Amino acid sequence: MGERKRRYKHLFVVVIILLTVVGFATEGYAAGAVDDGLLPEEAREAEGKVAYLTFDDGPSSNTIPILDILDEYKIKATFFVMANPSEEGMQGYREMMKRGHAIALHTYSHDYRKIYTSPDQFFHNIAQLETFLQKNFSIRTKILRFPGGSRNSSSKLYGGPGIMRKIIDESKKRGYTYFDWNIDSTDGISPAISVYTITSKVINGAKGKEKAVILLHDINAMDHTVTALPTIIKGLKKQGFSFDVIHEGTQAVQFK
């Protein structure tokens, strides 16, 4: 009988230890769920010095090289895309998604003569892009960037001086959030823009900022963007920036 009691006592102690371990593990998992960012997106605004690398106009022949560099530095970026149904373009969208980057809207055609004649024409073009992305990749987003930004002067040629105000007001009514930038790398001006210029515009522009939304381009001819990207990333890290993607909870940077 004494031996049986000892066995029961030993078994009881083992059960208590197992329950304690499971309890700690469960508690740790719950805490980890919060720490690992499983809160709703609107509650996950990044803290500290944050840089948002944003690439307009893709996908292109430079998409995969850009993604490879981002992978190397374990960084996610935001791609404001157009419609590119070519084999190269379709692969670009797939790789953006596969590698965990954010995809947002930048119009179907980027043709100022069409998109900036009226709000109806602009959102018809946006709807074409949305249909393309939803049909092929099940991508749905209400985040957009206006070609040329929300204060571009070219739109006035086709829609008059008040066209952007009308489009901005309509975008808000339709539930879109638009993002401009506070650092322009100038890489979209011309393929002749040097790597040094692109790099210095970003690194110097980031000084003194807590939040850096950086305009870059994903365009076939803009190889210097790819070459400059590693130096840009290292320079921003040296200034103490972490990196994040733009999502629905991100505070919008918009031109005044």
**pLDDT band at 45; cut points 50, 70, 90:** low
**Is residue 151 scored above 90 in pLDDT?**
yes
d(CA 56, CA 19): 53
d(CA 10, CA 206): 64
Question: What pLDDT score was predicted for residue 46?
Answer: 58
**pLDDT band at 69; cut points 50, 70, 90:** very high
* Tokens, residue 253: 């940077």
**Is residue 40 scored above 60 in pLDDT?**
no
Instruction: Concatenate the DSSP letters of all residues of the chain into one string.
Output: -HHHHHHHHHHHHHHHHHHHHHHHHHHHHHHHHHHTT-S-GGG----SSEEEEEEES--STTHHHHHHHHHHTT---EEEE----SHHHHHHHHHHHHTT-EEEE--SS--HHHHTS-HHHHHHHHHHHHHHHHHHH-----EE--TT-TT-STHHHHH-TTHHHHHHHHHHHTT-EE---SEE--TTS-TTS-HHHHHHHHHHHHTT-SEEEEEEE--TT-HHHHHHHHHHHHHHHHTT-EE----TTSPPP---
pLDDT in tens, 177-235: 999 999 999 999 999 999 999 999 999 999 999 999 999 999 999 999 999 999 999 99
d(CA 201, CA 224): 13
- Please identify which residue in the block is written with the tokens 């304690």: 20
**Is residue 256 scored above 80 in pLDDT?**
yes
